[in-house]
Structure 1
Amino acid sequence: MSDETTSSLNPSQENVSVEQFADMALDVGVFLLASGAHCGRVFSNIKRLADRWGFPIHINPTFTGLTITVRDGKQSERTVTRYQDAPPHSVHLAILTLFSRLSWQVLEDRLPFDLVKQRIEEIKAKANYSFWLVALAVGAACASLCMLAGGDARNALCTFVAAFTGSVLRIGILKMRFNPMISFVVAAFVTTLIAGIDTIWHIGTSPEATLATAVLYLIPGVPLINSVIDLIEGYLASALSRGLFAAFILLCIASGMTLAITLLGIENF
């Protein structure tokens, strides 16, 4: 779905060309998409920037890229259209918060264009979450879920080891630039293989909880949630793309788990 808005604010006296604003807005939009923003959030952030300088805009966000058309508020016949593919998706909710705050500050405090571009580059330059910190957090989260599912401390420890190892392996595969779907299959297989040892050796009071919760870190929660939000807000093409992407990830997880369970000979899972 495409959205269009015309700024109700008077254009600023600052000399910002249509081309300059289009390039900046496109840069912000694709980075938001790659960081896990749903289409409505991308539009609202770009809209606030457009209102600051009085540019009517028309955008068409998709799962893989963004098209934006900017019209000169003074010369309506002068328009600029840009398209850019989004980089590989890497969810970073802190980035979304920083961009949202910046867009409000730009609109309310009337920040100059050069300063806004500088702030954008500063946000983009922020380091991603630490490789090992993510793996430790994944292991701890899955271990906690195991205990909530009825497992004891030994089951939780097995879950932690399985999820931690699978997470490290998946990130390592992604760093080697293999297809992301391969990383999900391999991570699900290795995680289930390690968690399955709990079931075979009957460690703890609820080994089945280990097997069920160790792979939950692979569930594509953000694409699934964004798919529903996009569907509600009317971005049908993006909603369908995100939904199919998430469904295929679930299929990859199921394939890896099935292979590991079959290899271990677990029949009553």
Structure 2
Amino acid sequence: MKWIVLGIKKFSMQQATNNNDHLNDLGDLLLEVGTLLMSAGANTNRIRVTMKRIAQSYHNQAEFLITHRAIMLTIYDEKGKTFFNQVKQTYAQVPDFTMVSGISRLSWHIVEEQLPMAEVRKEIERLKSKPKYPRWVVLTAVAFACSSFCRLAGGDPLEMGAVFFAAITGLFLRQELTKKSFNPYFSVFLAAFLSTIISGSLGYFGLYEHDNITLVTSILYLIPGIPLINSISDFLDGYSLNGLVRAVNGFVISFAIASGLLIALLIYNFV
């Protein structure tokens, strides 16, 4: 009888250990998913829905506190007992819609196919290691986009060329400053200043017909569209704090753009 009781206790302890390991793995997985989505530019509601979907597919309940800089996660069992409680800081904010859509599709695969966590981990690592576009492709595409807007606004080929060169140079400078961990707002300010100086240089000598068009379209690549759109989305979904943080971030970036543009214009007026 004694050996039977000891065997039952040993089996129960082993089962509890396996359960705790499972919940720890699930908690780490959910935090990884949440921080990746936040860093890739997802709005707060998408992060919450995706994390909750994954947690429920593994038969657990999860509660979150999602902020712009960190995510707090608590996992409960069916009886309401806490098994996991941890906070993880988010990564640098770099928009990546491939990551957002990839994790969203993965969450549905987990629900429909009951994927084991080992396979989910492999897929997340695959998404993280997925090659990015080459730098010259990004620079060229952004510069073409800015020059295209210049054309749509009525610019001529000379003005389009100036906008192309101004945008590609300003974006290159911003990327280099980001690599060196410069303040992001100061990087935006310097990029806006450089692009405006370049795009307005030929106009200063009277070679442009539409100076205002070249100046405005050369800095369009700096417009903080994602933070501002996400701020509105968060406000509408009831995440007022995150919406406020994103809105302030967008307005500060806009102020940095306006400051760089203003100083460049003042220089041309003083020369």
TM-score, length-scaled by structure 1: 0.90
- Give the superposition deviation at 1:240: 0.4
CA displacement at 1:27 relative to structure 2? 0.7
Distance 1:127 1:245 in 2: 28
Q: Is the 8 A contact 1:45 1:100 kept in 2?
A: yes
Alignment of 1:74-89 (within 5 A): 75-89=79-93
Query: What amino acid is the match of 1:226?
Result: N
Residue 231 (structure 1) aligns with? 235
1:160 alignment partner in structure 2: 164
Counterpart of 1:17 (choices 13, 19, 22) is 22
Q: Deviations over 1:37-77 (max 9, x none)?
A: 1101111111221121111111111111111111123x421
In structure 2, the residue matched to 1:107 is 111
**Corresponding position of 2:51:** 46
How do 1:56-95 and structure 2 match up within 5 A? 56-73=61-78, 75-95=79-99
Determine the structure 2 residue equivalent to 1:96.
100
Query: Normalized against structure 2, the TM-score is what?
Result: 0.89
Cα separation, 2, equivalents of 1:227 and 1:205: 38
CA apart distance, 1:212:
1.3
Offset, 1:203 = 2.7
How many equivalent pairs are there?
Answer: 253
Larger radius of gyration: 2
> CA contact under 8 A between 1:65 and 1:83: conserved in structure 2?
yes
CA distance in 2, matches of 1:62, 1:266: 45
State which drifts further: 165-174 or 45-54: 45-54
Which structure 2 residue ranges, 5 or more long, are not aligned?
Answer: 1-17
Distance in 1 (CA, whole Å) between partners of 2:66 and 2:207 is 49
Is residue 2:212 matched to residue 1:211?
no
Q: Distance in 2 between matches of 1:266 and 1:49?
A: 60
1:28 aligns with 2:44: no
Superposition deviation, residue 97 in structure 1:
0.7
Q: CA deviation at 1:17?
A: 2.2
CA contact (8 A) 2:74 2:82 kept: no
Aligned partner of residue 17 in structure 1, secondary structure: helix
Q: Pairwise CA RMSD of aligned residues?
A: 1.6
